[in-house]
Amino acid sequence: MRVISGKSRGKRLETLSGDLVRPTTDKVKESIFNIIQFDLQDKSFLDLFSGSGQMGIEAISRGAKEAIFVDKSKRSIEVVKRNLKSVGLCSQALVINSDYRSFLEKTNFNFDIAFLDPPYGTGILQKALDVVINVMNRDGIIICENEVNENLPSLIKNFYCTKKYKYGKIAVSIYKGGSNLA
């Protein structure tokens, strides 16, 4: 796994091993960042269920102002910290060891872009979507990675699912809020 583009391009990232971990593939990651490339500059990025932190690291590398990494696994949090240190992006990052709901219900942060990739087949994604809306800026973007057969709503409060992409068994759904519906 590596950083694909930006100031940390080509740097290798560590990942956890095991059946409970499913890093976003480089193909899907590159596609996601191609989709949001013009919306990323100087924005606040939430990497919820961060795992190795690769999505937030890619966001900072490509011009995001900052990234907040949240994961309930202490092992994942340690990997995120090591990855941030190895690519030299610690100053633009905040790493939080918390379950998604606790973090979202207590945070004072608001985000421009959120990436949600919880464990598949758990029902967590829909629950997280219902809560993450409350910490999004009005014109924000929410990106969901999920199994292709998982049905997500077309509207969550004032965020519309504007596009769905399929990559084999993986789907990526893009939600946009407010006047950001183009």
Q: What is the CATH number of the domain that holds 46?
A: 3.40.50.150
Domain residues for the domain of 125 are 39-177
Compare 122 and 73 and report the one with higher pLDDT: 73
pTM of the model: 0.93
pLDDT (tens digit per residue) in 40-98: 999 999 999 999 999 999 999 999 999 999 999 999 999 999 999 999 999 999 999 99
* The predicted structure's pLDDT at residue 64: 97
Q: Is residue 83 part of a domain?
A: yes
Q: Is residue 21 part of a domain?
A: no
Q: Is residue 45 part of a domain?
A: yes
Element (H, E) at 175: strand 170-177
* The predicted structure's pLDDT at residue 18: 61
Compare 29 and 22 and report the one with higher pLDDT: 29
Compare 12 and 20 and report the one with higher pLDDT: 12
Q: Is residue 15 part of a domain?
A: no
Mean pLDDT, the chain, integer: 91
Q: How many domains does the chain have?
A: 1
Q: Is residue 3 part of a domain?
A: no
| Confidence band, pLDDT 50/70/90 cuts, at residue 19 | low
Are the C-beta atoms of residues 114 and 70 closer than 8 Å to each other?
Answer: no
Closest CA to 163 of 182, 136, 138: 182
Are the C-beta atoms of residues 63 and 6 closer than 8 Å to each other?
Answer: yes
Q: Is residue 31 part of a domain?
A: no
Q: Is residue 25 part of a domain?
A: no
Q: Is residue 29 part of a domain?
A: no
Give the DSSP per-residue string, 62-83: TT-SEEEEEES-HHHHHHHHHH
> For residue 4, is pLDDT > 90?
no
φ/ψ (deg, to 5) at 90: -60, -35
